[in-house]
Structure 1
């Protein structure tokens, strides 16, 4: 994985690929297994095996689809600069929502793609229980991994602007497909 990231960085030295200006094709060091154990104990959930293995063997945060992977704990993008927009704040708010008591232990409610009907009232927070925000795709879309319920380990895309929840692959396939892609550059 690190060799492929190095190749991606070599092919895109100006970080023109979507999100690369944020993660710059760099992964943080892996997280200590004891830290991941402590996270799981604190929130009362086991992390999906392939995600946990990634955290402890590959890297905790950084290079990945969209703006990259969030760290398990702490700020998503570091303290905001005065000259930057507030994208990091939205991501940190999304992570903070996940860490509320009972959110991660409540089973993820969906088994199929969801969009609200014309008269349906919904609460976004209720749709993402049992899942952990792990990345941001931009424009209010977050990547979540299910940690409790039927779909443990599956990636779901949560669009907050155009309310929708869409299932994706499991973590490993999601990350590897990004590594293997040759996404077009931004215009």
Structure 2
């Protein structure tokens, strides 16, 4: 992983992209700053102490050099904020989302085994996997109204929602486990697998490469529109 990746000039490039998009759509000045303020070293240390983890280096330097929230794949990043004394990730001023650092993020191919262990610990022997190749229906049988909470607590453990991309599509940054620093794509509207974000060569993205790929795509859209192509989306 490129844990020492720098962000020189990225903040300015993103602001230019946002301004170009506003001009293309005829929008007025933005109602708020493009980026949230950067975090100090002391604030980042406070976040890490609260959760007992070290943030992936690419994301850590982004917080310190670019901002604690702002534009990003595909709409906006969740914002890391201290709310009532607790650090969490906020989307559209909702309640802070907290990281569960108690265990590693469970990859899709290992998820059914994790469910199996949880169900057996609750005294239930699962029957067969359902159409999504896991035991979601058994979770509903065992945990009833609490199923959704139990399922999500286990499924999202070790990762944070880093961006909500609309229409149920979400991006997750892994904080704990062997794939720490990688990104996963998931449609939370249904029950599909978490899929690694990869570049054009099939290499898995870290936060730095993932963010810069999005920024480069937006800049190419703007150049194309200036050459007579469709405007930036």
RMSD: 2.9
- The equivalent residue for 1:81 is none
Contact conserved, 2:21 with 2:232, CA < 8 A, in 1?
A: no
Say which of 106, 109, 117 aligns to 1:109: 106
Runs of 4+ aligned structure 1 residues displaced above 3 Å come to 22-25, 111-117, 182-186
Distance 1:11 1:77, change over 3 A: same
Say which of 154, 177, 180 aligns to 2:216: 180
Q: CA deviation at 1:25?
A: 8.3
Q: CA deviation at 1:2?
A: 2.1
What is the TM-score normalised by the length of structure 2? Answer: 0.61
Say which of 92, 104, 115 aligns to 1:77: 92
- The equivalent residue for 2:62 is 54
- The equivalent residue for 1:82 is none
Alpha-carbon deviations, 1:126-181, whole Å to 9, x = none? Answer: 22211011111112222111111010100112321122211111100110011100
CA distance in 1, matches of 2:208, 2:80: 17
Equivalences for residues 77-96 of structure 1 within 5 A: 77-78=92-93, 89=94, 92=95, 95-96=96-97
Contact conserved, 1:156 with 1:166, CA < 8 A, in 2?
A: yes
- The equivalent residue for 2:185 is 157
Moved more, 47-56 or 114-123: 114-123
Contact conserved, 1:67 with 1:135, CA < 8 A, in 2?
A: yes
Question: Which of the pair has more CA radius of gyration?
Answer: 2
Structure 2: give runs of 5+ residues left out of the alignment: 1-9, 84-89, 113-128, 137-150, 198-204, 222-230
